[in-house]
Structure 1
Amino acid sequence: MEQILAGSLLSTKNTARTCIFSKQWLRVWPLIPALDIDEVEDKNNEDDEDEQARLAKNGIRHQRFMNFLSMCLKRCEKYNNTLDKFRLRMRYFGDRNYDDNGIVSRWLSYAAERNRNVKELDICFIYIPELPAYTPYRLPRTLLINNAGSLTILKLENVMIQGSNDPTSFPCLRTMSLKLVEFSSNFAFLQLISGCPYIAYLSLKLCTGLSQTLKLSSLSLESLEVMHCGSVRFQIEATNLKSFKLHGGLYSWGNVDIASCKNVESLEFFDTCLTETWLRGFASTFPLLENLVLHDYWEGRMKSTKIIPNLLDATISIHIGREPSSSWNHLRLIRFLENFDCSRKLSLHAAAPEALIFPEEVRRCPPLPNLEHLQVEISFTTTVKIFSLLMDSLHWMAPSAAVSIHRTDIDPYPETELLKTIIGSFMKTDLGV
């Protein structure tokens, strides 16, 4: 029975409910090596309830959840089982009517005991605006110091991490994801990272408490993601870094320095402005770059510099509306696209097809004569005439490429399903698809 429950996809709550079938199962389910406890399961459709009734019902549900959480802990402590994975997701942490802090701390202490050998720890506290006094959970220092030697994956959301005179220790950690984590200082963050000598993947999303310039050094880091972490300037020194993703504001690229990471093979930018200054020396900075992705890209003033000679695959999402003449200069777009002629595949994402229909007066030299594959995604629906003009423009832009056009699911101005039919007919006749 233990093997059956351990191999199932049931959450811990549903696994515990199986005890109604057999009293023997009551002794078996606490021995399962993976505990997945999720308060979100208690949420029902409450659209028709007024706010006061909904808050009262949520309070009762949360109390029942905490009772269940306490019961699970007592049974696991009784049988003293090993634990490979512990995942806890709570919606109402911080409500002063319940001893949330004490129960959660006991769970973490239990999961992080040296003889437990937990490998994956996933703790998420979801902020609820209705809470009268919400304070983030402070991660126990005992978890960070010496009680998590077997951890390989650590995921934290909506917690607070403070610095200490005692060094952290995660000797086996390979993956760390931090979301909405509040650090007491830069020192607290650097102390956490310094205790991870073999970390390969690091994700920082909406983290706060960091300021000024932060120097992140790691010999093992291979993949790094930074998403909206304020005005802090990251200086990355990771000789083995291969993948980097940046989500930020319009000029957020200036807050990151990865020039010393010569082995980068993949770069991905979201909502970022790139300029000619940034692109200058690109080939020498990232000589091994093969994949470049620009989401919600804002173009700065730049010329064609043939910046990326080794690039194999590029994806560009461009901010262009229905009236390109008022928001985009086609000549500047042509000059920018010339930088990607060395790529084998280029994917372009634009809201309106008109943005990629180049007027005859600017069609001199195609910007992508050597491109092999051109994929275009558009959001707006259109007419047969506009689609035909778009296809003609794309064939001029990349005369040697196999061209494909797709419509994305996101349509800011949903009109008809006409474009899907148009694309289907063109693919069959014009492209042989």
Structure 2
Amino acid sequence: MMNIKARVSEENDGIDMITSLPNDILTHILSFLSTKNTVQTCILSKGWINTWASVPDLKFDIKEFGLPENIDDHEMHVEEFVTKFELLVKNVLEKREAFRVNRFQLCLDSGVFWPCKVLADYISDVMKLEPRECSIKLCSREKFNLNTDLIFTCASLIYVELCVSTKGRLFVAMELNSVNLPCLKTLKLGRVRMSDDSLKKLLLGCPVLEELVLENINIDIIEICSNTLKKLVLNSYYSVKRLQISTPNLQYLDISKLRDLRGNLLLTMPSLVDASIYIWGWHGKDEYVTRGLNLIHNLSNVESLRIDLNFPNRKTQMKDISSFPVFKNLKCLKLVSCRFNVFDLPLYFLHHSPKLQELTLTNIHAVRVTDFSNEETTLERMRVVQREYLKTVRVAGLI
């Protein structure tokens, strides 16, 4: 039981200063606590009995019930924790005042498998309260489908986060029959599987979306077309057959762990300012390397760029980057874990980035120069590179 005491101010003739606060301020303060702790404030005094029922945020976390970290060794007691948790959620939803919820957080990522019906009941009850923000984190040791129609048709939402942690290569299949999110600004999805049509339907149903995060999504064709999107994060360990991004107002792009780009690239991002690219593949085939480099080719307008090309069986050579354009706005460049002939990639950017101010090389896998006649020629080429704005060059972990 949380130890909470309403302190009485002796300087104010015994007046309880906390309880005397306006209800709006009091409920705002309590909104920083979890719902379990908020409910416990009812024991403070008679004036606090129903205060928790007015708090606009609902935050449920199974970890607060003392669930063991390694539940496989405590399977006999897991049901006890789950029962307590379900009872709290049920009682809170039944007894709280019937007004809109500002933020709903449901954290069930402690290794317990939750039946779909239980999750659907939780979601159904909360969506009726028209929340503005919804964050759900689940854990599964089995494959299951999750019907998200209740969430993706809640017109009041401005923020949605749905993340699933699973064992091995399991994904949660997300079914999208209808999408109506006219106010949604931020959408984050993690470790879910969806069809190509579902992603298109999702974007069409979010007309004012500004931030999209797809973490470890299993999808063959990624087509993202949006006039409102400003921030995009793509993270996938799986091969992508086609990548198409048409976002005229996008300012930030983060593509990480994108493995073996197997299809065509179609990128339109004229407003892009900041980009981070991490592409890896065990095969190191020329076609995969070329597509990865073509992705960088489309980032010539950015001001800040981070590049991580990890092809263990293939090094980047000057012929691979000879068609790169001039990076006319680039001010900050960071090359991480890239494999290339010594100086090839850094030299190219030094020659073709007239506004470059900061260059960082980290954990670079370099091999001896093969296209220069000798080391003196190489050093001479380095000396002739002079940039008016270049202020800082950092080198760490040259391998």
Q: State the TM-score bracket (shorter-chain normalisation).
A: 0.7 to 0.9
User: Are the equivalent residues in 2 in contact too, given 1:12–1:37 (CA < 8 A)?
Assistant: yes
Are 1:318 and 2:333 counterparts? no
Are 1:157 and 2:201 counterparts? no
Candidates 107, 117, 122, aligned match of 1:107:
122
Give distance in 2, aligned partners of 1:144 and 1:277: 34
* Aligned-pair CA distance for 1:35: 1.2
* Aligned-pair CA distance for 1:37: 1.1
Which letter maps to 1:126? C
Alignment-derived partner of residue 200 in structure 1: 210
SS at match of 2:229: coil
- Give matches, 1:233-382, under 5 Å: 233-249=242-258, 251-252=260-261, 257-272=265-280, 285-286=298-299, 288-295=301-308, 300-302=316-318, 303=321, 307-319=326-338, 329-333=341-345, 335-339=347-351, 341-351=353-363, 362-366=378-382, 368-370=385-387, 371-376=389-394, 378=396
Are the structure 2 counterparts of residues 364 and 242 from structure 1 closer, same or farther at C-alpha, using a change threshold of 3 Å? Answer: same
Per mean C-alpha deviation after superposition, the further-off stretch among 342-351 and 170-179 is 342-351
Could you list the runs of 5+ residues in structure 2 that have no partner in the other structure? 1-18, 165-171, 282-287, 369-373
Alignment-derived partner of residue 29 in structure 2: 7
- 1:17-36 Cα distance to aligned partner (Å, 9 max, x none): 22222244231112111111
- 1:309-332 Cα distance to aligned partner (Å, 9 max, x none): 221221221347xxxxxxx53253
Alignment-derived partner of residue 182 in structure 2: 171
Are the structure 2 counterparts of residues 308 and 251 from structure 1 closer, same or farther at C-alpha, using a change threshold of 3 Å? Answer: farther
User: Are the equivalent residues in 2 in contact too, given 1:219–1:238 (CA < 8 A)?
Assistant: yes
* Aligned-pair CA distance for 1:230: 2.5
Give distance in 2, aligned partners of 1:247 and 1:281: 12
Are 1:180 and 2:195 counterparts? no
Which letter maps to 2:198? A
Give distance in 1, aligned partners of 2:225 and 2:108: 33
* Aligned-pair CA distance for 1:178: 0.5
Are the structure 2 counterparts of residues 63 and 373 from structure 1 closer, same or farther at C-alpha, using a change threshold of 3 Å? Answer: farther
Give distance in 2, aligned partners of 1:237 and 1:13: 44
Candidates 52, 56, 65, aligned match of 2:85:
65
TM-score norm. by structure 2 comes to: 0.75
TM-score norm. by structure 1 comes to: 0.69
Which letter maps to 1:101? C
Are the structure 2 counterparts of residues 268 and 27 from structure 1 closer, same or farther at C-alpha, using a change threshold of 3 Å? Answer: same
Give distance in 2, aligned partners of 1:257 and 1:352: 27
Are the structure 2 counterparts of residues 345 and 378 from structure 1 closer, same or farther at C-alpha, using a change threshold of 3 Å? Answer: same
Which letter maps to 2:386? P
Alignment-derived partner of residue 32 in structure 1: 55
Are the structure 2 counterparts of residues 256 and 306 from structure 1 closer, same or farther at C-alpha, using a change threshold of 3 Å? Answer: closer
SS at match of 2:234: strand
SS at match of 1:150: coil
* Aligned-pair CA distance for 1:338: 3.1
- 1:52-82 Cα distance to aligned partner (Å, 9 max, x none): 3x23233322222222222222223xx2122
* Aligned-pair CA distance for 1:270: 1.6
Give distance in 2, aligned partners of 1:228 and 1:280: 18
* Aligned-pair CA distance for 1:141: 2.2
Alignment-derived partner of residue 235 in structure 2: 227
Are 1:141 and 2:152 counterparts? no
User: Are the equivalent residues in 1 in contact too, given 2:59–2:106 (CA < 8 A)?
Assistant: yes
Which letter maps to 1:31? S
User: Are the equivalent residues in 1 in contact too, given 2:279–2:292 (CA < 8 A)?
Assistant: no
% of aligned pairs identical? 18
SS at match of 2:381: coil
Give distance in 1, aligned partners of 2:256 and 2:352: 22
Could you list the runs of 5+ residues in structure 1 that have no partner in the other structure? 321-327, 381-411, 413-433
Are the structure 2 counterparts of residues 118 and 344 from structure 1 closer, same or farther at C-alpha, using a change threshold of 3 Å? Answer: same
Which letter maps to 2:189? L
* Aligned-pair CA distance for 1:182: 2.3
- 1:235-269 Cα distance to aligned partner (Å, 9 max, x none): 122222222211124544x6573432222222210
User: Are the equivalent residues in 2 in contact too, given 1:120–1:153 (CA < 8 A)?
Assistant: yes
Which letter maps to 2:244? Q
Give distance in 2, aligned partners of 1:240 and 1:45: 46
- 1:365-401 Cα distance to aligned partner (Å, 9 max, x none): 2275215222426359xxxxxxxxxxxxxxxxxxxxx
Structure whose residues are more often helix by fraction: 1
- 1:119-165 Cα distance to aligned partner (Å, 9 max, x none): 111111023x4xxxx344513424333xx11111111112542143x
User: Are the equivalent residues in 2 in contact too, given 1:83–1:117 (CA < 8 A)?
Assistant: yes
SS at match of 1:307: coil
Are the structure 2 counterparts of residues 43 and 315 from structure 1 closer, same or farther at C-alpha, using a change threshold of 3 Å? Answer: farther
Alignment-derived partner of residue 399 in structure 1: none
Aligned length, in residue pairs: 350
- 1:79-137 Cα distance to aligned partner (Å, 9 max, x none): 212211101111358647xxx53443233223222xx341111111023x4xxxx3445
Are the structure 2 counterparts of residues 44 and 112 from structure 1 closer, same or farther at C-alpha, using a change threshold of 3 Å? Answer: closer
Which letter maps to 1:81? F
User: Are the equivalent residues in 2 in contact too, given 1:294–1:315 (CA < 8 A)?
Assistant: yes
Are the structure 2 counterparts of residues 375 and 4 from structure 1 closer, same or farther at C-alpha, using a change threshold of 3 Å? Answer: farther
Give distance in 1, aligned partners of 2:69 and 2:238: 35
Give distance in 1, aligned partners of 2:160 and 2:295: 37
Are the structure 2 counterparts of residues 306 and 230 from structure 1 closer, same or farther at C-alpha, using a change threshold of 3 Å? Answer: closer
Give distance in 1, aligned partners of 2:332 and 2:248: 23
Which letter maps to 2:190? K
SS at match of 1:376: strand
